[in-house]
């Protein structure tokens, strides 16, 4: 590509789609199976809901995964990013049911088969949305291996796993109290219930004693469940009630009498200290009933209306309607003592928002705490999952998430895996007419099993499906083509051999329980392998105020809108469309218009990705700040324009590549290096740039190893902007200036060799930077690399290779050049001193002024030996002369005059009264007329600053315990500072005296 083709400004939309399509078509994302490669890197995409759309959390999560994948791929590993989607049983079924509702049809009207067909239709319609959006983010997942949890092969593995676990006694069916969603009509797991504090009441109800006068008063938040009470309970040591234990009370509104029992579960200090026991409708009461062998009386139907166990007048009433009627009836009978306002935690289904009802039902469970092994002598799956982390085989990053993981697994109850839904993996269990249970991979096998057991009647398959997370838990091996016959290393299952365990799981903390722990349990048990080696846990993306993004708050950002930009009206429409509560629309609209008065500009994918990465500090949620996006779009533009600069100076120029190819220099061969030296003459600035590059490369490698994406981004940002653009390009401009006044042919020759070296450094450093940055910002780097790589000898002109196939840069520490670094450091300090002086003097940037630079040792007045400073690394007049042209350019100087005689310098200062700055032992004087008064003020300020520093340092050094106990290097450093401050103060005070004299005249 020629310079002419690189637009003046960077336009992301133009390049993004083009490159993605090409990468995918070329198969660059495909899993690696190269036996010659020693490393393997594998990532599992946490499968998003197949019918979902991309949100900021996905964008963040996937940017991290893609960055890791691209990094390891370029580093030469066999690489697989395994994508796929989840059938998301409950969520998807709800969506389709709502669509049917809108047409006035229920799923029961359709019937199971027709309903499932409808869901598949919906999946076919909307199933590609999220994976298409992932592509917009640049996600380099191997789409040829994309899986869906309900694919035939994955479903088969689900069944096989279920059957095996059942055979091993680790899956069982039983009647238990489970969380029941009465609207959805299914059980849900503990994790799918969210409790939040809501305003309610505490009803104080009198239970008359069966014998004699009096009553006990019970406080309850759920008066309607009174009909299912089987006892009253008091604390056995409660003196108020002790004597009543063993007596009976009459259950109000019912003909039953129930006993009074004692149990230490009761808190004597809360309410009346007397509790009703309703084991069929409360988890704690259920446990009490088990302890006391009490009966269970369920008074609710599965849709939470009162059933035939309730007195006739209540039957058929909804639980909340029944509550009102019961309270009214109690009041009428004088049994309602009082009603108090009371805040309590209400459990709701996380998908439906419906109040969850503990319900006694038959369900399937995974026995997570049951010993495994044929003889029952092996640890439970939960214990094994704990062990994988305890031994360090699986490592959490950041490490403190281990606590969360351990705590959960240590308190784990059996996992209810059956759901009374239609969309999902149907449970492979068949029932005989007498309740016989046959679990098998298919009906034929079940029939055979039944026959063997002596049952020859009809079989009915269990209508229930499995919890979505059951199939998700198998994802690490089900996506890799697992079969029960797999033995590791047998070459029959190459993907499993290479990619199980995967390298790292990248996830938010919210699914450690849902997914991470369950993957560890089931993958370990089924395959004997851990599912992944590292778990990188990242934070949640929040809005600018730190609020969770949610539809109802109307603060959701769509990553695609940040990439493409969106008009205000469209954004408002999007945020207010389809609200559960349409009343919020006005407020959301107002806030949106206030926050984004002109909509959201298009930042492009690279800027968005860079923003995510630079915000990815460990252990922190992320307040997403659009200003950062803006800044990183500017960064992409900076890189773009730096490339324009390099191309402008290097395209069609002699870069010395013929004698000295990129590869041979990389190899560090002496022969190549000597061939180079005849053509190339690298300046200290060139060597400094190369040296800085090595340091950044080493830093990036370290940060990748530690998953510090924020620091990777920061390192690259600083390398590009500060080091390469702000300094090296400016230095290179000086080196590339056409010098027409060279006298001898030898000087001309030397100039050519030097400029050739500079161009070469420009091109090769830029080319390395592009590769270094590619995993973070893939699109702009690819686009620019196409233009730069041929110049750098990395790519043959006219070929179609990609930066994706180029190797990742690694630091060559032998190229670190401390001497050149010291010289550039000195040059920078001199430039800063000039600029600072100019600023203080309020000189126009357009005005070029002469500089007189005194480099004689000016410390004669000090009896201390000047400690070594960077200045002393430049020793010869020739070196000083070498710095002059750079300083002239960087400091906007018309000329640089060097003085080696301090006295002479001081005379010049005295005669002109010009401002002087200090830079280590060098002194700089700008030859400009200054106002003596303002110069005095400036000097006083500077002297005061130095005196303050000086006294701090003196204080330290006069402290004997400091000099005695601090390390020698630290003491030495303080002594050096002291000397420097003293040395600097001398000329400043002299200068001040001079200016004050002028002022008086």
The SS3 assignment for 731 reads helix
Nearer to RNA, 429 or 936 (CB): 936
Q: How far is 683 from 680, CA to CA, in rounded Å?
A: 10
From the CB of 625, what's the least distance to RNA, in Å? 5
- Show the CA angle centred on residue 83, arms to residues 392 and 25, nearest 5°: 130
The SS3 assignment for 401 reads helix
From the CB of 386, what's the least distance to RNA, in Å? 15
Q: Contact at 8 Å (CB) between 201 and 221?
A: yes
From the CB of 339, what's the least distance to RNA, in Å? 14
From the CB of 403, what's the least distance to RNA, in Å? 5
φ/ψ (deg, to 5) at 817: -125, 95
Q: Please name the residue ranges forming H helices in 455-558.
A: 468-473, 475-478, 494-499, 518-527
Q: How far is 326 from 203, CA to CA, in rounded Å?
A: 11
The SS3 assignment for 462 reads coil
From the CB of 728, what's the least distance to RNA, in Å? 9
Nearer to RNA, 273 or 559 (CB): 273
Nearer to RNA, 301 or 406 (CB): 406
Nearer to RNA, 524 or 974 (CB): 974
The tokens of 267 are what?
């808190």
Nearer to RNA, 621 or 879 (CB): 621
Nearest CA to 784 out of 807, 766, 805 is that of: 766
From the CB of 199, what's the least distance to RNA, in Å? 13
Nearer to RNA, 42 or 64 (CB): 64
218 by Cβ neighbours in 10 Å (0-12 / 13-18 / 19+) ranks as buried
Q: In sequence order, what are the beta bridge partners of 542?
A: 548, 623
Nearer to RNA, 27 or 967 (CB): 967
From the CB of 557, what's the least distance to RNA, in Å? 15
From the CB of 344, what's the least distance to RNA, in Å? 4
From the CB of 179, what's the least distance to RNA, in Å? 10
Nearer to RNA, 491 or 844 (CB): 844
Nearer to RNA, 462 or 730 (CB): 730
Nearer to RNA, 83 or 891 (CB): 891
CB atoms within 10 A of CB 786: 19
Nearer to RNA, 450 or 613 (CB): 613
The SS3 assignment for 631 reads helix
Nearer to RNA, 141 or 234 (CB): 234
Nearer to RNA, 43 or 776 (CB): 776
From the CB of 620, what's the least distance to RNA, in Å? 4
Secondary structure (DSSP) of 317-381:
-BHHHHHHHHHHHHHHTT-EEEEEEEEEEEEEETTT-PBPEEEEEEEEEE-TTS-BSTTS-B--H
Nearer to RNA, 337 or 710 (CB): 710
CB atoms within 10 A of CB 727: 20
Q: In Å, how far are 24, 683, 756, 959, 986 from 979, measured between CA atoms?
A: 63, 32, 43, 17, 11
CB atoms within 10 A of CB 106: 11
From the CB of 590, what's the least distance to RNA, in Å? 21
Nearer to RNA, 544 or 570 (CB): 544
From the CB of 220, what's the least distance to RNA, in Å? 4
* Close Cβ partners of 354 (under 8 Å, ≥ 6 residues apart): 181, 182, 183, 184, 348
Look up residue 510 and give its DSSP letter: G
Nearer to RNA, 577 or 945 (CB): 945
From the CB of 646, what's the least distance to RNA, in Å? 8
Nearer to RNA, 42 or 636 (CB): 636
* Exposure b/e, 226-247, CB count within 10 A at least 16 = b: bbbbbbbbbbeeeeebeebbeb
Look up residue 922 and give its DSSP letter: E
From the CB of 259, what's the least distance to RNA, in Å? 17
Q: In sequence order, what are the beta bridge partners of 285?
A: none
Sign of CA dihedral 65, 67, 68, 69: positive
From the CB of 166, what's the least distance to RNA, in Å? 25
Helix axes of 56-74 and 129-136: crossing angle, nearest 10 degrees: 60
From the CB of 226, what's the least distance to RNA, in Å? 10
Q: Contact at 8 Å (CB) between 552 and 531?
A: no
Q: Contact at 8 Å (CB) between 306 and 300?
A: yes
Q: SS3 string of 308-335?
A: CCCCHHHCCCEHHHHHHHHHHHHHHCCC
Q: How far is 648 from 763, CA to CA, in rounded Å?
A: 11
φ/ψ (deg, to 5) at 306: -75, 140
Strand ranges for 432-583 from DSSP E = 437-439, 460-461, 465-466, 502-508, 532-538, 541-542
From the CB of 799, what's the least distance to RNA, in Å? 27
The SS3 assignment for 664 reads helix
Pairing assessment for the beta strands 357-366 and 171-181 based on DSSP bridges: antiparallel
């Amino acid at each position: 590509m020629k310079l002419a083709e690189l637009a003046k400004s960077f336009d992301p939309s133009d390049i993004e789609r083009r490159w993605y399509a090409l990468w995918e078509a070329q198969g660059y994302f495909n899993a690696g199976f190269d036996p010659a490669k020693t490393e393997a890197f594998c990532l599992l995409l946490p499968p998003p809901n197949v019918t979902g759309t991309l949100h900021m959390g996905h964008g963040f999560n996937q940017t991290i995964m893609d960055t890791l994948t691209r990094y390891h791929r370029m580093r030469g590993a066999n690489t697989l990013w395994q994508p796929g989607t989840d059938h998301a049983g409950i969520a998807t079924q709800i969506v389709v049911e709502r669509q049917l509702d809108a047409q006035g049809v229920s799923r029961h009207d359709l019937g199971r088969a027709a309903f499932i067909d409808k869901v598949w239709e919906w999946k076919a319609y909307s199933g590609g949305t999220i994976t298409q959006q992932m592509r917009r983010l640049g996600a380099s997942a191997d789409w040829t291996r994309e899986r869906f949890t309900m694919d035939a092969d994955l479903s088969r593995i689900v069944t096989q796993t279920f059957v095996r676990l059942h055979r091993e006694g680790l899956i069982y069916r039983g009647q238990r109290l489970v969380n029941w969603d009465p609207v959805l009509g299914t059980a849900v797991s503990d994790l799918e219930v969210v409790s939040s504090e809501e305003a309610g009441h505490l009803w104080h109800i009198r239970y008359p004693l069966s014998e004699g006068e009096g009553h006990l008063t019970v406080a309850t938040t759920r008066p309607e469940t009174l009909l299912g009470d089987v006892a009253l309970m008091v604390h056995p040591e409660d003196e108020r009630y002790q004597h009543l234990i063993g007596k009976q009370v009459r259950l109000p509104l019912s003909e039953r009498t129930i006993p009074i029992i004692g149990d230490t579960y009761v808190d004597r200090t809360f309410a009346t200290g007397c509790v009703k026991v309703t084991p069929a409708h409360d988890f704690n009461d259920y446990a009490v009933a088990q302890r006391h062998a009490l009966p269970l009386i369920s008074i609710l139907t599965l849709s939470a209306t009162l059933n035939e166990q309730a007195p006739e007048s209540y039957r058929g009433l909804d639980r909340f309607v029944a509550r009102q009627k019961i309270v009214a009836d109690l009041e009428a009978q004088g049994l309602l003592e009082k009603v108090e306002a009371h805040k309590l935690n209400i459990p709701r289904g996380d998908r439906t928002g419906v109040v969850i009802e503990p319900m006694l039902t038959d369900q399937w469970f995974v026995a997570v705490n049951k010993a495994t092994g044929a003889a029952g002598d092996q640890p439970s799956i939960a214990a094994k999952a704990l062990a994988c982390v305890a031994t360090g085989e699986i490592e959490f990053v950041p490490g403190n998430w281990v606590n969360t993981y351990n705590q959960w697994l240590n308190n784990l109850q059996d996992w209810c895996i059956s759901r009374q839904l239609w969309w999902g993996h149907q449970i492979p269990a068949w029932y005989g007419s007498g309740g016989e249970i046959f679990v098998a991979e298919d009906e034929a096998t079940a029939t055979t099993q039944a026959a063997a057991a002596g049952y020859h009647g009809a079989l009915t398959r269990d209508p229930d499906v499995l919890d979505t997370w059951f199939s998700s838990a198998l994802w690490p091996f089900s996506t890799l083509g697992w079969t029960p016959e797999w033995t590791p290393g047998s070459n029959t299952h190459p993907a499993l051999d290479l990619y199980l365990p995967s390298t790292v799981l990248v996830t938010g903390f919210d699914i450690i329980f849902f997914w991470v722990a369950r993957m560890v349990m089931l993958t370990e048990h089924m395959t004997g392998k851990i599912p992944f080696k590292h778990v990188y846990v990242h934070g949640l993306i929040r809005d600018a105020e730190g609020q969770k993004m949610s539809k109802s708050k109307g603060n959701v950002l769509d990553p695609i809108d940040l990439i493409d930009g969106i008009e205000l009206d469209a954004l408002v429409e999007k945020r207010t469309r389809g609200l559960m509560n349409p009343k919020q629309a006005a407020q959301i609209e107002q806030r949106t218009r206030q926050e984004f008065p002109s909509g959201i500009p298009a930042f492009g994918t690279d800027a968005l990705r860079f923003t995510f990465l630079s915000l990815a500090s460990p252990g922190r949620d992320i307040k997403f700040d659009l200003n950062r996006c803006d800044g990183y779009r500017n960064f992409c533009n900076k890189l773009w324009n730096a490339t324009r600069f390099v191309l402008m100076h290097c395209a069609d120029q002699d870069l010395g590549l013929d004698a000295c190819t990129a590869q041979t220099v990389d190899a560090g061969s002496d022969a190549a290096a000597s061939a180079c030296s005849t053509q190339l003459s690298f300046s200290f600035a060139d060597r400094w740039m190369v040296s800085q590059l090595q340091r950044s490369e080493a830093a990036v490698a370290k940060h990748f190893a530690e998953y510090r994406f924020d620091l990777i981004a920061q390192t690259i940002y600083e390398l590009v902007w500060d080091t390469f653009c702000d300094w090296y390009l400016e230095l290179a401009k000086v080196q590339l200036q056409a010098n027409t006044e060279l006298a001898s042919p030898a000087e001309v020759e030397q100039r050519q060799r030097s400029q050739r070296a500079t161009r070469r450094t420009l091109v090769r450093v830029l080319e390395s930077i592009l590769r270094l940055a590619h995993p973070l910002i893939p699109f702009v780097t690819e686009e620019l690399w196409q233009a730069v790589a041929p110049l750098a000898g990395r790519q043959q002109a006219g070929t179609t290779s990609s930066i994706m196939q180029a190797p990742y840069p690694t630091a060559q520490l032998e190229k670190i050049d401390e001497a050149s670094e010291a010289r550039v450091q000195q040059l920078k300090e001199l430039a800063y001193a000039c600029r600072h002086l100019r600023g203080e003097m309020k000189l126009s940037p357009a005005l070029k002024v002469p500089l007189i630079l005194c480099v004689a040792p000016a410390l004669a007045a000090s009896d201390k030996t000047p400690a070594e400073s960077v200045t002393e690394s430049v020793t010869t007049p020739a070196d000083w002369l070498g710095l002059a042209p750079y300083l002239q350019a960087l400091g906007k100087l018309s000329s640089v005059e060097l003085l080696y005689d301090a006295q002479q310098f001081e005379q010049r200062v005295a005669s002109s009264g010009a401002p002087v700055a200090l830079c280590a032992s060098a002194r700089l004087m700008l030859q400009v007329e200054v106002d003596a008064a303002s110069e005095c003020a400036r000097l006083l300020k500077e002297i005061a600053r130095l005196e303050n520093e000086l006294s701090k340092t003196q204080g330290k050094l006069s402290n004997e315990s400091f000099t005695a106990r601090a390390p020698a290097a630290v003491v030495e450093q303080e002594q050096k500072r002291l000397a420097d401050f003293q040395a600097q103060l001398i000329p400043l005070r002299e200068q001040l005296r001079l200016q004050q004299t002028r002022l008086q005249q």
